[in-house]
Amino acid sequence: MMLSTSTLSSMIQSELEAQGFNLSKGEADRLADAVAKAVVEHIQSSAEVPVTSGSSAGTYSVQ
């Protein structure tokens, strides 16, 4: 599954609303977008997937 900043941002905004935050000012959209972008970038730059057997054995970064 590909990581999506827009999907994560929407999920963050939904959770903020569920927790009682007022998102009507528009600043929350920018906050959620920034958090989502940072999370996706961090995961993509740091995550590795080990393949322990077969002809593709090795460690691969997440794209």
Q: pLDDT tens for residues 7-35?
A: 999 999 999 889 988 877 677 888 899 99
- Mean per-residue pLDDT over the chain, rounded: 87
* pLDDT greater than 70 at residue 1: no
3-class SS letters over the chain: CCCCHHHHHHHHHHHHHHCCCCCCCCHHHHHHHHHHHHHHHHHHHHCEEEECCCCCCEEEECC
pLDDT at 36 over 80: yes
pLDDT at residue 27 in the model: 76
Cα distance between residue 43 and residue 7, in whole Å: 15
pLDDT at position 7 is 93
How high is the pLDDT of residue 34? 94
